[in-house]
Each structure stands twice: as C-alpha cells, then as structure tokens.
A and B are shown apart, each in its own frame.
Chain A
C-alpha cells in the first residue's frame, strides 16, 4: 500500500524553498516543491527516507519511518556556501559539480533574474570565465559576438547552442526570452567532446524553466525606462573646423578655403541631430506554472520594445513571445515532456553601421559643422543645388535639409538620410519546440527519445523613395522591396543512460545516436520599381506595374546534415577518484567523401583530495578537487560544398568566322575529397576549492590547439586552376588561465555575495601554409588596404603597419635621422611630419611590407567581470562590473580620402611648430609624408575598459504585509545600465564586437539606460 507524504521545505531563515527536489531514497522518481515550499509525494511501503536537495542548499536525507498520522514532514535546508554542491548540465545529463571532471561555466537564473537584458548572450557577459562576449552594436536587438576560450579558427567561431538538449543553429538564439531560462552552462574543454561535431567553438547549454507541481504560481516582471548615449565624440565646431581646414590648405600650397571664420560660430552639431537622449524601452513578462505530481506546465509570455539612441525613427526593436512547457508521467515508467515557443521580432536598423561609407553615424562624425541641418535662408534654398533638385529632402516646413559640398562622397545629411529609409524593417517568426519520451523501466536505466524542430520565417521590407541627398548620393526612381525566407530544421536524438553503484564504485554509462538536419528552406523576393507614389506609407505590391518594373529573385538553401553516435562513461570511486571518457563520431555533409566521418574522443579525471583520510581537517581548505582532461572536438560551421569544385563559364574563345564569343567552361578549382573537420584539442587542468568556508575558488589552465584550419590555399601554377581550392591547412592555439572566486556570507540580516572572474588568453598562429609564414589579414581600411596580418607566431589578425618614432620638430631632426650611409632616411619630410621607424634597416622608408611591423592585437589579453550582491532585510543591491583589456582598437572614425572631413578635437593639439606635439602631425592637404594615409600606430588606441554594466537597487515588501492579499512577493527595483565606462579609448564605445577585428568605423554605441521595474508573484 503506497502512502502519500506531504511536507514543506524551508531554508534556515524559515523562508520556503521553491523548486527543491524531493525524491525517495534509492529511487529516481520524485517531485519538486512549489513556491510555498510544499510538496506531495507517493512512496512505496518499503521507502525509508526522502532526499531533499536544491541548488544552493546542502542536501538532506529525512527519515519517513516514524512520521505522524498526517504523513507530514517539515524539512529545513541549510544554505550551502559551496558551489561544488551545485548540479550542472553537461549535455545528455546532469552531474554534481563536486564530481565533475571537466571545465564547465555555469550561470543560474538567480544571477540573471534582476538583469534586464535584451538577449541571452548579454546575460552571459562577464559572468562566465573563459567566455568573451562583445556586443556587435548598440542597435536594439542586435546579437553579440561570443568566443569561448578565444578564437579557435580563421572561420566561424560561434559556439554551439543547445537548448533543452536540442541543438539550435547558431545566430538564431534571439528567440529565447531571458526570464524563461533556468540555467546556462558553457562546456569549455574536453567535456564539449560529447557534442564533437560542432563543439570546437564551445558549447552553450541552455535549460529553460519547467513547471512545478503544486498550486498555480504566477509571476510578473516588467520595467520601463529610457536610454541615452553614454558618451559623445568631441568634434570640431564650425570655427575650429574652418581654421584647421584653412591651415591645412595653405600648408599644402592651396588658398584660404573659409574667409569669414569669425561669422561661423559653433555651427552644426551633427551628433546632437541624430542622438536621442530619451529613447524609451519597456518589457512585460508573465509566467504561470503549476501542476500535479503527474503533470506540470509552465507557460510564459512577454513583450518588449526598445528604441535606439541613434536616429530613433530608423532604430527600433520589438519582440513578442509565448512559450509552453509541460511534463507528464504516464504510468510508473514513462515520462513525456515538451516545449513549444513562438517568437515574433521586428527591427528597424540604421543600415551602414560601423562603416566608413556613409550612414548616420559616419556622416555625423565626418560632415563639416558649417552646413546647416535645415536651410532656412531662402537665398540659399534658391541656389541650383536645392532649386534644381526637387527630390532634395525637405522638412515639414518645406525647407530643404542642408547638403554639404565640403564633405561629399557617401556622407550625407543624416537627418535627411533618415527620411529615405523610413518604412523599412526586418521581421522574423520563429517556432521552436521539442518533445521527449523517457522510459525508466528499471532502477538506474533511462531510455530517452527526443525530437526538436525549428520552423523559421524571416524577411525584410524596404522602400526607397526618389531622393537627392547630395550630388553623389541620389536615387532617380523609387523602389519597394520585400524579401522572405523560410527554413525548417529538425533533429532526433536517442539515448540510453544507465547508472549503478557497486559498493564504492559509481558507474554511469551513456550511449546515444543523433541525426540533425538544418536549412530545409528557400528565399524569394520581389522588387517593384517606379511606383506611382512618393511616400513609404503608400507603398504596396498591389500597384499594377509593367512587368519590366517587377524584379523577382529566389534561391534554394543547401541542407546541412549531421549524423552522430556518441557515448560517455563516468566512473567514481568513493566520489574521490573520478574518471570521464567521451567519444563521439560525427558525419557531416560539409566534408569530402573520404572524410565524411570523424571521431572525437576525450578523457578527463578528477581527485577530490579533501575526501582522503590524510587530508587534515583545517579551517583554510574545506574542499579541494584537482582535475584535468584532454579531448578533441570539431568545427563544421564552414560553407557547404567546399570539397567540390564548381564548373563555371568565362573561359571563352571565338569559334566560327562571325566573331561571336563562344563560352567555355572549366572547373574553377580542384575538388578536395579529403576536406575534413578542423580539429581542436583542449588540454585542461583545474582545481576547485572551498576556502575559509566562505570562498569558492576555481582555477583552470588550458591549451586549446586547432589543427587543419580551413582556408583557400595558394597553389603552384602547374596545377592549372584559376582559383584556390580549400584545404585543411593552418594551425592556431589559445593558451589561457581562468580564475573564478566567489564569496558568500550571511551576517545577521546582511547577506553578501561577491563573485568575480578573470580570464587571460594568449592567441598564437602556429602555421598558415607550406610556402609562407603569413597571409594578409581580414581587415582593410579605406585606401590603406589591409591593416591586419595573420602571421605565424603572432596573434590572429594582428594590426600591421608603420611605426612612428615621433614627430620631426625641426629640419635638424630630419637631417639627423640618418641611415648607416649617413644620408637622411626621410629626406622629403618636413617639420611636423611623422618620423617613421626604418624597420628593415635599409636606410629608406618604402611603402611596402618591409617597413611595416606588428602593432598589436585586437584580441583582449584578459576579460573580467565581477558582481556584488547585498541583501539587507527587504533591500537588495546588485552591482555588476565587466571589462576587457590588452587589446588595441583601430580608431577609424575619420574618412581620410574626403579631404574636408571633420576632425575630433584631438586635431587641435596638432603639430604647429617645434615643441607643440610629438603625437599628432601637422595638417597639410596633400599629406606628402603619408602621416594620415599610412596604416600606423597613430590610429591604434588601447581598448582597456571597466564598465559598470548593471547597477540595481531593489526593495521587496515584507511577507507579512502581503499575507492576506494572495500575493507572495512584491519587489520594486531601479536599474542603471552602463552607468559608467572607464577607458582611454576615444571612440564612442570600447566594446567593438562583431567580425570587425577591432576596427571602429563608427560603431553604434551602447546606451546608458535607467529603468524602473516591478516583480510580482502570486
């Protein structure tokens, strides 16, 4: 006869513990406590005890043999100060951190719930050691660049995202809602081998919230606030600008450009014209959870809207989402669970961000401050520039927006530019779901089948009116465009797990099989030209236009498939000696027929030293674990069909006497049937310790080496192909050290928790090709050409250019800068020009590689984050700092090839005579010494920064006040985001993310936001 036991779980301050796991000792089935800490569980007559555990608490075993007639038990859990007791997700299962042998970073819902992030990558920033996150743009809703333990390949470095055991394509993670997240784990080392295929860039495991049995629980979280730019550039005002332009022109032998400088005043502040100090932002999220011991559910819905701080009319983001998760026990052995979510996103972007070729930011930085935003002077508006161009953009009063003739090319009046992009936006509909069936027929055995699907639609709409922004930027006919894409991804995984204890031996075996298909999809689009309208508001595809004005396009996507077999063995002896072995075999469509499959093994071991008898009981070290491992993983996030050669036209000859060209075809390059995975091998040595009872310390040293990086190889001409084939060529390594230190202490009513982490990474290219030790880098800048280089022994894509030795102050300095032969090295230089280092010592400065050298790396040498949490009675405070350092940023905000681009106020400290500057050269129009034209360390600045990312104050109403209301929690909070950033960098924002190699061409800066919010729980 089974009996039902009810109970309540409380913490040491008698507050209910929600979500605590309650199981019968020796069985796996169990339940969890509801928000009041209550549980109800059916136990067999033979059951003798319950095991109660919860994250952050010391697990307890409670005897149930001597319960009263009501079968009720009250359990008090002691708060655990040891992170080692936490349960972590490791892929296809969980394990206690104390017996984990790998290096896994973990972030809990509790750490995130107070942080009003837009996307979940940002939630990870600064919280997990070894994980570097850089925001790509301050544009609301934009993604971040994530690097787990550095740059692993020359190609795609994105980590693999796995949500609730379902592999989700990278980049498509924006659909997730932060408040739905229970935990995030990052597999950083050999432990990632369980996802062998695509794990080289690290694996990020996201576990979402599930329902809890018991009374219906409802929670609400919402905030409203506004954003403003954290920092503006200091640009020259009209008077300063005209003075410098005149000086520059005269020095170059030209005439005076601006005669009446005294009348110019400060002129136009273009930044002010596009920045918004009051960009609104709000979010509302509601979730319901509940269920019985048979079935539980969790349903949530959210809406958020955010306006950007730059050109807000064309910088907005909104997201709406709904999600349902449920689990059901069918009989005694079977569990069924599912989640399904729908997310709608809509964003309007500036276009042309972080580009020196126009767009609002670049234009605002480079435009002359003399041109007015709006031309109000009728005599100016009557000039041919405006009068003869009826499509010049005008404001509501009919006045034309100012057009600069001093600063042309792609630079346009940013306020007018906004008018040309109205009505455009991107949208997406994502349906993501998964379902699983788990059978546990005998003790220790679990058989699980899961299916995951993602159906996504996304597209864009854009209207381009007829416009005249400048003589070079104009549009003669309007167009209306709509592009739509759809994909379907699915995957199936089957696993068997068996766990058994034999005396002191604890063995868990996992075996599994998976099949993954992505990109079953297609794209179509349509552009209508010359619509009989003038405003985007009237744009429609219903207009009946001649066929010639309707341009359609379409493409099919290429499927990406992976087939996998995997297994894992965990062995523990007395929880003291730990061993994990992993093996995974993957086959991928992306590799050559000879190398379709690859095997990724790993092995790791751990030793809980404190469990040894010889380990003395002491007050300093209460827990100590040493661990180490070695494993490999792969990367198949490369383009499809790189192992195949396409046959293309253009190899023509004229055959016949008519003079016509006959098209000839030839393979473009070689097939490479041996094209295979890039392999990344990680060695990891670490320790976890609990010190002085209140401190948790984790230290990891790693060496991550990737071999066979895919790149197009330069091949000898006798091969006979006109393009380079792809091959597994280059090698690169990342060595690093990660330190995490946590402190938790309760002193009376004061609860203190401080967690910090720091990661040091050194990246080094080991090999690039048989015939050369360098290849040109990925970043170019205007007419400088490539400004980075990938060279053996250097960090990936290091800056490469000329080195300054200072500014020549006098002609004597120039004459004295001599080579061995005694002749001046820079005979044509003038005082005020840069003294360039003669790197190769040949006595002359030449504009080629010989006098260029490595000037620094865009990769941070270290990244760090730390969080301080304080709780005192109902008050709480969170301060979260984060930063990076040791990297260089190329400050490329000025357009060099546009002679009259505006300068930052740094130019006021230019060289104007002996002793005036040894850093900023003279201004001269033709720049004969190439002071500005050459890539040099003049453009490089330190990227070090420390940012107070989040500062939050909250107050929770005392429980007794709420007793009769049915509300269990009310919390108010105020959050400040990006309150301050300490940096010497002179651009908008030192956080320059994305695939830009640290080149800031006008990055959309992150906003400073002040938000007020409310949390409710029923």
Chain B
C-alpha cells in the first residue's frame, strides 16, 4: 500500500488567469485511514482544495496525486474520481434520480459496473449509511440529513478509498449533522476509508484525529486537535472559534483544575470534571 492516498505538492490554484490565488503553495498529504478535519473561514480556499483533491480542478502550479495518479492527466480522471469521492454542501443539488435506488446506481452506471452486480452494491452502500429502508423512496420526501446520507451512499457504492466532504453538514439541522457525522466516522473506523472532513463546526473538527486550518489559501496549522485548539489566540485572529469544550477546559485550567488538553467533547469533559472532585 502506498504511503499517502491524497497528496498535494506545492499546489497553487487561480480560478482565472491573473486573478488571485484561491489556494497558495500548499503541501499536504493524507495517509490511508486518516480522518482529517479542514477548518477555515469563508474564502479560505477549503472548497477549492476539495475540488483539487478529486480532479474537478487541476492545479495551476504544482501537482495533486490520488493513489499515486496525477490529477492533471486525462487518462486517470475517472479512476481518480472513483477513488476519491466528493460529497457537496447542498443535499438537494447533488441527487440526480427521483428514486433513491436509481440515485445510488448513478455512479455505478457511469463507471460501467455490470447490471447484475449493481443491486448488491447499492444495498451494501445503503446499509452502510443506515438508509436501506428508504431504497424505493423519492429523495425530495427525505430530510436533509437523510439526503446527505444517500449522497454518501452514492459515492460509497463506487468503493472509494477516500471520502472528501465539502461542508456536508453546513445546511443541516443539528440532528442531521450528528447523523451524517457519525455515519462518516463509522465508515472511517470500520472500513478504513480515508476522510477529509471540511467544515466550520469546531465540535466536529475536535472529533477528528488531525486538524488542518486554512487561511487565505494557505495551510497555517496542521496537527492533532489538542495541538491546534490550544492556540486559541491564533485561531481567533483567523476569525475561528475554539470548540466550546476547549474554551471551558482553558477556563477550568486557569482556575487550577487539572483537566487534560485532550478533553474536547462533552463526554470526556464530563468524565474529567467528575474525576477532579
């Protein structure tokens, strides 16, 4: 197995010639099985990064490779998009068919999977996102979180190595957000799918193993959540907040309580606070 699934080397990208760089001189690599959050304010270049990672955009300067394949070469395009699936923000605008079953089949049809093999793969994918019961429903009757899970199933059926989610929870209600995040987390844990989770929700980022912060097209921080979120001042300078539990941890530590920096979600914080008594 190769060392990196997705690799970004000295990449810059401009939407138009002469326009400003949306992504500037970026170097990143994602290992197989990693779950990484990408944080950044609007216009920080995180959506551009997502589209660079599966070859929808090809870098103006530099090189992006997916499973060792260069996205700039036309002969790899479909193999790359199959290996690195991309889920978008708006659940309504990425479902193609008027029946869930047909929508999940869409990607399979495009890559030429034999018809006999499709039903099994569709059912597996829907089961993985917990939507098997909805196989004959119409997407417009489903909730946002359910639609987003269908979109994930549509990618999953193509058996990708990596899943890139470009603010997939931004338009969902809290319940839908939790549903989608836990589905992706489970896929990462159980199937070892590499996940790049682009978001501006700090709570979600805190639950990933690695956090990358982007600002003005550059990668400015890269580390574990503990490493990144302890630099609260730097985050605020980029108009980003620290997750509430991290902020709470800081306050408690300032009062002399011994709370480890790793306590970043409600459960572990509760555990640590109880342990302090």
A, B bound: no
Instruction: Report A's interface with B, CB cutoff 8 A.
Output: none
Instruction: Report B's interface with A, CB cutoff 8 A.
Output: none
